[in-house]
A and B are shown apart, each in its own frame.
Chain A
Amino acid sequence: MTDNRFFNRSELIGILVLAVFLVVVLPLTLDVFRLNLVAKYLTYAFVALGLVICWGYGGILSLGQGVFFGLGGYCMAMFLKLEASSVENTKIQSTPGIPDFMDWNQITALPFFWKPFNSLTFTIAAIILVPGIFAWIIGTAMFKRRVGGTYFAIITQAVAAILTILIVGQQGYTGGINGMTDLRTLKGWDIRPDHAKIVLYFFEVGCLFVCIMIAQFVRHSKLGRILVAMREKEDRVRFSGYSVANFKIFAFCIAAMFAAIGGAMFALNVGFMSPSFVGIVPSIEMVIYTAVGGRLSILGAIYGTLLVNFAKTSLSETFPELWLFGLGGLFIAVVLAFPNGLAGIWGDYVQPRIDRLIASRKSKPDGWTDSSVADGAPAE
């Protein structure tokens, strides 16, 4: 049962608890609207998961994860938009059969790079490959020249800025600042009604667990240990004969692909995609989720994402004046006092007590499940 390749015993329990929480507890306790909100938050959890590998283990802070989130999301949205813009749906336009925003911008034919997105197979491949190849290009250019740390962070940030400006500027091809709205069906299956949203939620949770397994596998493989070694003493790893650049590129590409899957899920679950999820501000927020959850903890990143987003939604609903103060204060507190985030607090304070509790009365190990669920669901 405890397969060394993926997880040890306590990690297995953690994953099961998360699975129960996401698959059973949340769908039973929340209405469809709130469940859809959770689905939206979980799309960011993909990004946070990628950042755990790239930043937590590899030590590469990327401030451009929004770029990959956006690329994945736009690939998905382009497919959905094309399907929503069939000739019957758009017959009032001057050129039927093209997306509405193209028609508004006096474009009369579908641009060549839109055409392949008529195929779902191509779209799914593009969701993974386009961001992956893009990350590979950036990573190769930077890491082969031994650019890292703060420089890398700033350059990825610039890339995020460039892509945002480009998307907003090229309104006719991308939908501009409004993004791609009014997405309707996936292969004829309507994604908007409540039951579709529930199906999509479970599909997303399934994908999330696949990604968690991949992340666990990377972490427990030799590769993961080299990543950690590289973060701690890069020169020693290099002198031991490893190609540091290739490992960094790998970590960065994995993070980019996870982010892209998250983006595609976003387009499916939320029903639109816009440049406001691509730029610098969302990219930094995604880093914050990881930092709050714990940059070294795969599960912590997911709880952190849920926690920050719940806090953001409920605070901005009730105290619109205060939530930026709260959010800002949270970042500062996490950085100053809890560099390992929620997972660090869990590991330092809660886990030892539970261990003692279990050790003192072996007959009732149920305390684990309850407290851990409470930890992940601070606001309803």
Chain B
Amino acid sequence: MFGDYSLGDLGSIFVMQGFAGLILFSVYVLMALGLAIIFGQMGVINMAHGEFMILGAYVTWMTSNLFQSYMPGLFGGYFFLAMILAFLASGALGMLVEWVLIRHLYKRPLDTLLATWGLSLMLQQAYRSVFGAREVGVELPQWMLGSLHVTDSIEVPINGVFVMGLTVLITISVAYVMYKSRWGRQVRAVVQNRIMAGAVGINTEKVDRYTYGLGCGIAGIAGSAFTMIGSTGPTSGQLYIVDTFLVVVFGGAASLLGTIASAFSISQTQSTLEFFMSGSMAKVLTLLAVVGILMLRPQGLFALKVRK
């Protein structure tokens, strides 16, 4: 399978496919970060996670339309405002959902799966009724188009670089919030021992609500970033939900570092394989490998050592 390419070509292929993998990696990380918080930390199986992401994408699309018609001069910077709006919209919806639905189900994790699946159906239909069934694409500002020429045979698209930079930024902020801030300490305390956390004066209900909101908000940002590299339809979220769950489980549910490592390995394997075989076989092999490894090592790559 390598016979037809020279060594230099192969190097370029690996770099370019590696870069394509990095973009996939960014989307995975952004989606998986939110899910790692909701599923990994809170134990809620949020099947509607993809729909929260799509909400972010639609908010971004609306913002770009708004800028296009009323403030064309500022169009270059719309994305930053859109991202914040996407975070707020998805986060607010997430907190509402937690209040109405999820908080009754913390003791029945498998039931959260059914309830959030129902929620995802309703959200999909809502998007279809409001935004139409057709996929919508966001117009990119001028500075994001084009690509960077690294060498003669290697070039990388600017929007991809931007999404990657964004991912790094978001990941660092989430890590900071979860591991350095006072609020993050409360979240971890509630996750490890809800009763004791309540006993020392942490308002566990409030922490739950904001944690769920944060996870959904990050999904909104993921959706916002997603518009940079693809178009959005009412059911786009569903395409990614299984992959994202696998990323989180493969990484070891309670570990942010594990999530990043597993997103990296899954996306790189997939995009490298994609060059040598059809996309569907690449995906099958990647998922099979992940499931196989999970059967041998159910706790995932990075297991948190907690006594239960």
Contacts and interface: CB of A to CB of B under 8 A. Distances in A.
B109 A149 contact: yes
A150 B113 CA distance: 9
Nearest to A147: B298
Contacts of A331: 114-115, 117-118, 121
Interface residues of B, number: 43
Interface in B243-293: 245-246, 249, 278, 280-281, 283-284, 287-288, 290-291
A43 B289 CA distance: 32
B197 interface: no
A161 B126 CA distance: 25
B192 interface: no
B115 A158 contact: no
B252 to A, nearest CB: 11
A296 B100 CA distance: 26
B115 A332 contact: yes
Contact of B283 (A165, A328, A339): A165
Interface in A139-189: 141-142, 145-147, 149-151, 153-155, 157-159, 161-162, 165-166, 168-169
A240 to B, nearest CB: 21
B111 interface: yes
A146 B299 CA distance: 10
A317 interface: no
A61 B246 contact: no
Contacts of B288: 162
B119 interface: yes
B118 A330 contact: yes
A165 B280 contact: yes
Interface residues of A, number: 41
A281 B281 CA distance: 21
A327 B121 contact: yes
A287 B114 contact: yes
A336 B121 contact: no
Contact of A284 (B105, B117, B119, B290): B117
B114 A335 contact: yes
Contacts of A336: 101, 104-105, 115
B122 A329 contact: yes
Contacts of A287: 114
Contact of A321 (B101, B125, B246, B283): B125
Contacts of B111: 335, 339
A166 B280 CA distance: 7
Contacts of B104: 336
A155 B294 contact: yes
B173 to A, nearest CB: 27
A153 B110 contact: yes
Contacts of A334: 114
A321 B294 CA distance: 40
Interface in B26-71: 39, 43, 45, 47
A343 interface: no
A165 B45 CA distance: 23
Interface string A29-52: 000000000000000000000000
A158 B266 CA distance: 14
Interface of B: 39, 43, 45, 47, 101, 104-105, 108-111, 113-115, 117-122, 124-126, 128-129, 238, 241-242, 245-246, 249, 278, 280-281, 283-284, 287-288, 290-291, 294-295, 298
Interface of A: 61, 63, 141-142, 145-147, 149-151, 153-155, 157-159, 161-162, 165-166, 168-169, 280-281, 284, 287-288, 291, 321, 324-325, 327-332, 334-336, 339
14 contacts: A142-B298, A145-B298, A150-B39, A151-B249, A151-B298, A153-B113, A154-B246, A161-B242, A169-B280, A169-B284, A280-B238, A284-B114, A328-B118, A328-B119
